[in-house]
Each structure stands twice: as structure tokens, then as C-alpha cells.
Amino acid sequence: MEQFSLKLPDTLKDQAEEAAEEKGYMNTSEYARAAIREKTEADLVIVRDDEEMIPVEDINEMLREQAAISLLESKVEEEGIPEVWEPGETWKPVLEEIREELVETDLISDDVSLEKIYEYTQERREELVQEYGGGT
């Protein structure tokens, strides 16, 4: 099973491990996920962005999209651009993995469709193909 990971600066790693242990979390990853959720909830109802109020639902949507893009970038960095297996399905296995990881880490619910992951990552996938070449 793959995990979604956050990279912490070395200077914070020990502190995060201690905080996770003190608060009763099983590991630092669980603590980090909870901290991100709590921070989002603390900022909750409204956030100011260029003088425009953004509903919490939109903020959560942006966070899910950014998580999907981050996982996509990590996978492309590790594995490269996927080869064409069947027309129209080039990215499908990669995006299925991303969806599964987001569900496992509770960043999205199990009812979020694969099409939503396609939507979240569409623009970045196109950029990555241009940057790395290959795939379609």
C-alpha cells in the first residue's frame, strides 16, 4: 500500500514526531493529516482572497485538487510519463492510484469519481507531457 507523504524540513521532523506521540497519534503522517484538517476547519467559514470571500467548500475543493496534483507530480518524477496502452486511457492507471491514495489518507471520500481526479489534474498532465515529452 502506498502512502501520501509530506516532506518536513529536518529541523521540524523531530518536533513533529514528538508532537504526534504526545497527542496520541499512531505516526507523524496521521498527525500531519489531522493538523491540516484542523487548520482548514479553524480557517473554516470564510477566507479572504483578493478581497473576495471564498466558501469553505471551495477551499476544501482547492486543497483536494492540490493534493491530487502533488501526487501526480511525484509519480511522474519517479516513473516518468506513462506510455500509451489504449487510446484514451494513458493516464488511467496513474490516476486510479492517485484516487486510491487520496481515499486511503482521507483527503477525499470514497464516492469521489475517477473523473474528478481527471478534472483536478488535466491542466497539469498536459504541462507535464510538454515538460517531459512522451505519452499522450
Strands 52-55 and 46-49 come out as antiparallel
For residue 76, pLDDT over 60 is answered with yes
- The chain-wide mean pLDDT, for the chain, equals 77
Q: How confident is the model at residue 84 (pLDDT cuts 50, 70, 90)?
A: low
Main-chain phi, psi angles of 52, to 5 degrees: -110, 135
For residue 134, pLDDT over 50 is answered with yes
**What per-residue confidence (pLDDT) applies to 32?**
75
pTM of the model: 0.56
For residue 51, pLDDT over 70 is answered with no
Helix (H) or strand (E) holding 120: helix 114-132
All three cell numbers of 93, joined, read 492507471
**What per-residue confidence (pLDDT) applies to 34?**
76
Provide the residue type at 28 as one letter: T
What mean pLDDT is predicted for residues 102-107? 88
Q: For residue 53, what are the β-bridge partners?
A: 48
What mean pLDDT is predicted for residues 84-94? 69
